[in-house]
Structure 1
Amino acid sequence: MKRQIITLVIAGIFLISACKEKKSEDSQAKSKVCVSDSLSKLIKIDTVKIANVKDELSLSGEVSFNDNRVVKVFPFASGQVMEVRVSLGDKVARGQTLAVIRSADVAGNYTDLETTRSDLAVAKRQLQQAEYLYKNGISSERDYTEAKENYNKALSATRKIREQIAINGRGSTGANGTYIIKAPESGFVVEKNISAGSYIRQDNGASLFTISDMKDVWVWANVFESDIAKVKTGYAAKVTTLAYPGKEFEGKVDEVSSVLDPENKVMKVKVVLPNPGLLLKPEMFTNVLITNNEPSSSVAIPSDAVIFDSSKNYVIVYNGQCDLHIREINVIKSVGNITYIGSGLKPGERVISKNQILLYNALSE
């Protein structure tokens, strides 16, 4: 009985050894994965390089007109709006009528002008008479000087009223008090705070119209507290809109606010953009991508080369047509089509960045 047990154990050992040898022979007999000539036309090989680390921050924003390239039209006289001839977004030319106002102030200016004209005519006659009497030795120099001063005062009063009418009543049709507001410059009406029938006051702090040439615009983007350190003046910015899918507008961060918005707790940054074709309109919502080249550098490869499998990242290292290896890598971050590697690759090595999944599946079997 004891001899039979020993015999069975020895037989089992020989059987396990034979299985291991068989598995090893099968593994060695298995053909290597090679890149055929036809497959080589379908793949792309890139060299691992050292590159400056880029950082991108995606923000939401809104288009606004350039405050440095606008003209705000304020009321120079109070009155009732009789007619508004332009709408928001209209293109206007310099001198074009924007609105018509019936103003008691303008009418009063013309009344004052008539009064000062009469006073000036009287003062002129008195001056001529005083000058004649003085030159003929009938009146004193004092009387002549007093008449001259009275004339100068009347002349100044008349000039003041005329200048006031030239400013406040520019374009008015006469003493009936019609006050015509005209465009001081050509451009687009980007703000309109006036409507027919309303009453405006001269001391109103709000502008009636805002006109902008729209050749360049501002985009105000919102930055949360956690991302404030990632945005600085001069950083490159790419702006996209829903209105023009696939089109990018490139600009730079021109201003970074020093305070947070008290309501939504975000910091505002201003991006200045050229506006060719006047495509960007005020109040448009935008996506803003802020890009920064950090002073640090890292190993970088195309993002297309990375294979994500089972919560890990891999690449196919290409050493030769039949010398391919799967290698796990540690990804720092990806920006655009560049992935920065913390470990797993060295500069100068080559990786497959197109259709590498086919080789990955073959090498994984």
Structure 2
Amino acid sequence: MNRNLFLLPAVMICLGACSRSAKQQDDKIKPLSMTDSLKKVVTLDTVNMRTAANEMMLNGRVTFNQEKVAKVYSIFGGNVTDVYAEIGDYVKKGQVLAVIRSGEVADYQKQLNNANQHSLVAKRNLQTAEDMSRSGMASDRELLQAKQEMANARSEQKRVKEVYNIYHISGNSGYRIKAPVSGFVVDRKVNKDMQIRSDQNEELFTISGLDNVWVMADVYESDISKVREGAPVRITTLAYPDKEFTGVIDKVYNMLDDESKTMSARVRLKNEHYLLKPGMFANVFVQCQSSGKSMLCIQTKDLIFDGGKQYVVVVQQNKELKVCEVVVDNQQGKYSYISSGIKEGDILVGQNALLVYNALNVD
């Protein structure tokens, strides 16, 4: 029997497999188009010409807004009986933070009792002097002296009551330490049963509002000429790698730190939802003077990094999608400047560009 008869079925199988493989390959390289359904899941961006900005990165840290910091001290010495606030708590103005039982407060209570008693006695003496004056039994001098004693007693009574109100003195020799402002307790140096001296200079509580914070950037001597007040900045943190905070430099401290040999620049930021915590490290990207050079500019999110190269997906005039390699000159946060690979006016796929790129590059 001819051996070719045995080989024929195998060849036919191979040819059939090759035919299917070729057909599949043709299906894979079939161009994709920007259909109405695809438009629902992607966004489109336009390539524009922009003046390229120069950015410089500085190391920074989040700090309290010093204009909103209140330090709370104890006016009287004594024993701490209660503490109602911990670090991190939000307190309102007038809220009791701690209570101190003090012998000095007991002295003020004694003064108030004496002032009340003297006021009562002076009032009675004045009434008696007025009655006797009307009946001719007391001289005008005696009446005037009674009025003066009444005025002095009321003045002393008012003085002691003002002390009560200012220092929030309560009964049982208690002195209530209240929050002078609304904000967060950022430091506490008092505990229950602690003994407080009247001459203690250390604050018991530190309260600060976090609605606004400062970001202090360190500027090295070689970069001082590049930093100016009013310069736009963008700020990133390790805690929120995908989020940028924007602001401007509102103050440049024109002096160098003796140890670090750096100058400080301040950025005020509105701290929505209290995302920024004092003590956080931050990268501060300062926009320096523009070079005046215009370049092709795209959204950084339009870029696709693959195999050490950068690509974009371009929507051509016939609505077909095409992958183009681009050369990125520099990146400035949300924007990237392109030196070659695309032209002004090109339409790029933005959101979900990576999914489209993968579909166009099916092996």
Moved runs in structure 1, 4+ residues, more than 4 A? 46-49, 201-206, 301-304, 337-341, 348-351
Question: Aligned residue for 1:314?
Answer: none
Q: Secondary structure at the match of 1:252?
A: strand
1:229 pairs, out of 225, 229, 243, with: 225
Instruction: Tell me the distance in 1 between the aligned counterparts of 2:345 and 2:91.
Output: 61
Question: Aligned residue for 1:183?
Answer: 179
Per-residue deviation at 1:203? 5.4
Contact 1:56/1:335, CA 8 A, preserved across alignment: no
Per the alignment, do residues 59 and 209 of structure 1 end up closer, same or farther by CA in structure 2, a change over 3 Å counting?
A: same
Contact 1:48/1:299, CA 8 A, preserved across alignment: no
1:6-155 pair list within 5 angstroms: 52-155=51-154
User: How many residues get paired?
Assistant: 278
The aligned amino acid for 1:66 is N
Matched, 1:275 2:274: no
1:300 pairs, out of 284, 295, 302, with: 295
Contact 1:238/1:289, CA 8 A, preserved across alignment: yes
Residues 51-103 of structure 1 deviation map (CA, whole Å, 9 limit, x = unaligned) = 54522121112111222334443323333323322221112244433112122
Residues 15-49 of structure 1 deviation map (CA, whole Å, 9 limit, x = unaligned) = xxxxxxxxxxxxxxxxxxxxxx97xx9xxxx9995
Contact 1:106/1:168, CA 8 A, preserved across alignment: no
The aligned amino acid for 2:167 is N
Per the alignment, do residues 190 and 102 of structure 1 end up closer, same or farther by CA in structure 2, a change over 3 Å counting?
A: same
Instruction: Tell me the distance in 1 between the aligned counterparts of 2:124 and 2:183.
Output: 50
Question: Aligned residue for 2:306?
Answer: none
Per the alignment, do residues 48 and 240 of structure 1 end up closer, same or farther by CA in structure 2, a change over 3 Å counting?
A: closer
Instruction: Tell me the distance in 2 between the aligned counterparts of 1:98 and 1:267.
Output: 38
Q: Secondary structure at the match of 1:54?
A: coil
Residues 274-326 of structure 1 deviation map (CA, whole Å, 9 limit, x = unaligned) = 112111111111111111343x512535699xxxxxxxxxxxxxxxxxxxxxx
The aligned amino acid for 1:290 is V
Instruction: Tell me the distance in 2 between the aligned counterparts of 1:48 and 1:71.
Output: 49
Instruction: Tell me the distance in 1 between the aligned counterparts of 2:108 and 2:242.
Output: 58
The aligned amino acid for 1:167 is I
Residues 144-164 of structure 1 deviation map (CA, whole Å, 9 limit, x = unaligned) = 111111111111001100110
Q: Of the two, which has the highest radius of gyration?
A: 1
Contact 2:226/2:289, CA 8 A, preserved across alignment: no
Question: Aligned residue for 1:248?
Answer: 244
Contact 1:62/1:284, CA 8 A, preserved across alignment: yes
Instruction: Tell me the distance in 2 between the aligned counterparts of 1:48 and 1:270.
Output: 33
Per the alignment, do residues 81 and 158 of structure 1 end up closer, same or farther by CA in structure 2, a change over 3 Å counting?
A: same
Gaps of 5+ in 2: 1-29, 35-45, 301-326, 349-363
Per the alignment, do residues 279 and 203 of structure 1 end up closer, same or farther by CA in structure 2, a change over 3 Å counting?
A: same
Contact 1:65/1:214, CA 8 A, preserved across alignment: yes
Per-residue deviation at 1:350? 11
The aligned amino acid for 1:298 is K
Matched, 1:215 2:211: yes
Per-residue deviation at 1:249? 1.4
Q: Secondary structure at the match of 1:273?
A: strand
The aligned amino acid for 2:209 is D
Instruction: Tell me the distance in 1 between the aligned counterparts of 2:173 and 2:345.
Output: 83
Give the percent of matched residue pairs that are identical in Structure 1 and Structure 2. Answer: 39
Gaps of 5+ in 1: 1-36, 305-328, 354-365
Q: TM-score, normalised by structure 1?
A: 0.66
Per-residue deviation at 1:349? 9.8
The aligned amino acid for 2:107 is G
Question: Aligned residue for 1:310?
Answer: none
Instruction: Tell me the distance in 1 between the aligned counterparts of 2:265 and 2:155.
Output: 51
Query: Which deviates the most, 71-80 or 155-164?
Result: 71-80
Residues 110-147 of structure 1 deviation map (CA, whole Å, 9 limit, x = unaligned) = 01111112222222222122222222212211111111
Compute the RMSD of aligned alpha carbons.
3.5
Per-residue deviation at 1:335? 5.3
